[in-house]
Chain A
């Protein structure tokens, strides 16, 4: 049996509904939230501030430091124990790598810019939502960036059907017997150049299908980029019409 029609009747390249907001945390220098379906991510940016311990400081540039965390009640299953886990530490690292290459922090030597990503509600795709929220928060804070990285998950069922932004039910098709394998590809793309700054995949997929998925990701991230742009500009537009 092959998965050919999506459970929630979406088109193959259609994401769940997206809501992007900027400036949600007054205490932060920059902040944003990104909701895609039932997954929500908050991101807050603080700094540049002094980096401790001192030996980590770089006299040429400021550093980006990301911290990803799921709130204890954000999972669909049992409560998640607070504090860092192996999973959250790894996602913190990939988030940082997804964003670092676009940042120009050379004006702030020896410092650190902190990005905190919090997931209040998860239904698959939290790292991607977190990266989108973090991108917006960094732009909102006024940092120099080459582009606004956008992240999305693409799934491939049984090395046949390629579809964008799986929710939890679609991510686990292999557990319900609706598909034999589901490859889950989380990718972050710089929308202007199509370069990939973050790529993770688990599942089984052929090279051809992987590239089909990447092509879909490029198209989808371009669209999401437009949504993020609108959100970033919105805060100024509303006031202008007052």
Chain B
């Protein structure tokens, strides 16, 4: 067996982690907003050695026919080959699609953005919010890093000038994008029947499964994604949710 994976698993059995962190201890988290001048909102998040940049672009377009008075929300993620030797150029991998969709559901389902408020004229013009996740250096737990960056970038977003016909990106208004809720995704991994948070890249290789739960201010869960084939018992899931709620408070305080 791979000696690194074996080592991680052996240590976990003794209640220890590779970098001597506690099971429920996050790496250092820092959030910086307004880092990209060309975006309407942006954030640069560092979680240990994991680094992501998220930029928000606002544009005006036609609404979807089934939601004529709602704006659109779109999340994409690029696992940049620049950020890890494991990532390759080419069409989006399933990993990047899952990352984008987990972040998307957290924001959409929490109604963090009231999509009705993005409507300019019903059936004709609505604001479209594009959230783009770009990895700078990947060292594990991209979900949580991207989740924090997404909400920080959205909070940083201001509308560009719009005269009813075209958007003038050179002129920014003071009008912020209204964020009603702050969803925080927390990923809890299972490794040798232990529940641990914020896995670094070398730990992720040894992980059995994970659950990402997105949590709101009042502890409401607004999205869940279980990853990996290993089953979780109801008891474990209960612990996962409790831990996710507890950790979401800690992360929220850093925003």
Contacts and interface: CB of A to CB of B under 8 A. Distances in A.
Direct contact of A and B (CB under 8 A): yes
Interface of A: 24-28, 38, 42-44, 46, 49, 67, 69, 71-79, 82-83, 114, 116, 118, 120-123
Given A72-B132, A121-B36, A123-B38, A78 B139 contact: no
A38 B37 contact: yes
A116 B82 contact: yes
Contact of A27 (B37, B92, B139, B170): B139
A10 to B, nearest CB: 18
B209 interface: no
B57 interface: yes
Given A27-B84, A120-B134, 8 more contacts: A25-B82, A28-B82, A49-B85, A78-B59, A79-B59, A82-B92, A83-B91, A123-B38
A67 B89 contact: yes
Chief secondary structure at chain A's binding surface: loop
Interface stretch (B73-81, B177-185, B186-194): B73-81
A76 B116 CA distance: 27
A44 B83 contact: yes
Contacts of B53: 71, 120
Chain B interface bracket (under 10, 10 to 19, 20 to 34, 35 or more): 20 to 34
B223 interface: no
A122 B42 CA distance: 14
Interface string B32-66: 00011111001000000100010111010000000
A116 B81 contact: yes
A27 B138 contact: yes
Contact of B38 (A49, A69, A121): A121
B34 to A, nearest CB: 11
Contacts of A24: 136
Interface in B8-50: 35-39, 42, 49
Contact of B36 (A42, A69, A83, A120): A120
Contacts of A75: 38
A28 B56 CA distance: 27
